Structure 1
Amino acid sequence: VPQRLYSLDELKLNGIDTSSFLSPVDFTLGSIERNLQFAALLGGFSAWVAFGFSPAQILYISLGLLFLWSVDLVSFNGGLRNLLLDTIGHSFSQKYHNRVVQHEAGHFLIAYLLGVLPKGYTLTSWEALIKEGSLNVQAGTTFVDFEFLEEIDTGKVSAKMLNRFSCIALAGVATEYLLYGYSEGGLADIGKLDGLLKSLGFTQKKADSQVRWAVLNTILLLRRHERARLQLAEAMSSGMSVGSCIGVIEMNIDSADVEMQ
C-alpha cells in the first residue's frame, strides 16, 4: 500500500482496530501462573498439616523458594519461570499452542514475501533452549538478515529495510488479531520495533506513521495469503524444515507476490 500517514479512522475502515493488538497481554500464561501460585499455597498448607512443619521450617522453606525465584530473575531474567509456564501452556492449552504456531507462521510468511529469507524457527521455550541455548525465548523465527545488521552497525537504516523490519515485527500480532480479534503474544516484537524507531530519532508522529502503515500493509498481505499462512502453520506445527516450509508457501502463492513492499 502507498506509504503515508494513515489515521486511526482509515485503519478502522479497513477493519483494523490497533488497540486490540498493539498492547498485547498474555492472559493464558497469566492464568497458568496464578493457578500455579494457588496450587503452591495449597500444597504448602497440606504439607504443613500432613508433616507438622513448625513455623520456623515453613519460614525457611519460603525463604528458599524466594531465593530461587530471585536467582532466576537476576541471573536468567525470569527464563526458568518462562520455560515452566510455556511448557505447561503448550502441554495443557491447545489454544495457546495454536496461537503460538500461527504467530510464528505470520512472521515467517511476511518475511518471505518481503524478500527476507527465514533460516530457522522454534515454537516452544524448550525448543529454543535446546537449539539456541536461550532461556528467554518462548518461540521465535530467525532470518538471514546480514544486510539489516550491516545497516544497524553503520547507524543508517534505509527506508526499504525499515519497512521490511516493521512489517515482519508486527506480523505475529497481526496474525493473532486476524484469527482471534486480539493479540496475547508479541510484546517483545513491538518493543524491538519501538526501540529501533527511537534509536533512529523518530518523533512520536513519525513513529505512529511508520507503525500504522506497517500494520495496514501487513494485515492486507496476511488477508491476501490466508491459505498460504494456514498451510505454513500446519507445516511448522509438524516440525518441517525451513526449506520445506518455504516450499509450502511457494505452492500457495504466485511467484510475483514475493518481495512485495
Structure 2
Amino acid sequence: MEEDTGLNILAITIFTITLSALLSPLLHFSPYIPAGITFVLLGLVTIDTLSWKNQGVNLLLNIFASEEQKQRIIYHEAGHFLTAYLSQIPVTGYTLTAWEAIKNNNSGLGGVIFDTSFLEKKSQDMREFNRLLDRFGVVLMAGIAGEKVIYNNSQGGEEDIKKFQEINRNITLTATNFQMKQRLAILQATTIIEQNKDAYLALVEAMKQRKSVTECQDIIAEYHQ
C-alpha cells in the first residue's frame, strides 16, 4: 500500500540515523544529535499514523515521487472516471495529489470520489442490485486496468482491491473464485478503456489540467455523440 511504502521510507531513514549514531565516534559528532532526530521522527510518525491518517507520509511521497509516478496516478484515476461515467456511477469529484486530497478533506494520495449512496439503498430487485455492484466492481478495478493499458503493469490499486473485497463481503466466494471475479472485473475494465481509448486519453489531458467534473464528463460525452 502507499501508506506502507511511506512508512518503510521513514523506517529506512530512522535506521540510517540510528546507524550514524553508532558510527558517531568515527564521524566525530555527538551521538545525541542523531538520537534526538530519531526520537523526533518517531514521534512525528506516531502522530501522523494516529491523528493524521498517514497524510504526512503521503505528502512526503508526493514530494519525492518521480514524474512517471505522478503520471501513473492520473492514468489510474482516469480509468476510474471513464468507467464510472460509462457505467452511470456518479462522480462527485477527484484529486490527484495528497495535498489536493487534504484540501478536500479526503485521505490518501488522491482519487476519484463516487456517490456510493446506492450501496446503502438496496433495491427490492436483488438481481438488479447485484448487477449494479458488479458494475461498480469494474469501476474499482479500472484504475489498475488503466495503468496496464498504458504501462503494461500496475503499481497501485491496493485500496481499490480492499473496496472490491468490501462490496463483495456478503457474497460467499472462495479465495480462488474471488480472484477470478477480480480478474474478470479488470478484464472488463480494460476492454472498456481500450474500446474508448480516444475518450480516455482526452480525459487524461483534461484531468492534468484539473478541469471540473462536468467538463470532464462533457469531454467523454463528445466521443459518444
Find 1:138's aligned residue among 100, 105, 109: 109
Take 2:33 and 2:222, find their aligned partners in 1: how far apart are those partners?
63
CA RMSD of aligned residues (A): 3.1
- What aligned pairs does 1:52-67 form with structure 2 within 5 A after superposition? 53-67=29-43
Q: Hey, what does 1:221 align to over in structure 2?
A: 192
Gap runs ≥5 in structure 1: 1-24, 255-261
SS in 1 for 2:104: helix
Q: Hey, what does 2:122 align to over in structure 1?
A: 151
Find 1:99's aligned residue among 72, 87, 93: 72
Alpha carbons of structure 1 residues 231 and 196: separation in structure 2 relative to 1, 3 Å: same
Take 1:225 and 1:75, find their aligned partners in 2: how far apart are those partners?
41
Shift in Å at residue 149 of structure 1? 2.9
Deviation sequence 1:126-180 (CA, Å, 0-9, x none):
0010012x3x31111112332223239xx99822111111101000000101111
Q: Hey, what does 2:49 align to over in structure 1?
A: 73
Q: Hey, what does 1:185 align to over in structure 2?
A: 156
Q: Give the % identical residues.
A: 30
* Residue identity opposite 2:94 in structure 1: Y
* Residue identity opposite 1:191 in structure 2: K
Take 1:113 and 1:251, find their aligned partners in 2: how far apart are those partners?
13
Q: Hey, what does 1:208 align to over in structure 2?
A: 179
SS in 2 for 1:158: helix
TM-score (norm. length: structure 1): 0.72
Shift in Å at residue 231 of structure 1? 0.1
Q: Which has the higher contact order (CA 8 A, sep 6+)?
A: 1
Alpha carbons of structure 1 residues 218 and 57: separation in structure 2 relative to 1, 3 Å: closer
Preserved CA contact (<8 Å) 1:108 1:118: yes
Aligned residues: 215
Q: Hey, what does 1:83 align to over in structure 2?
A: 59
TM-score (norm. length: structure 2): 0.82
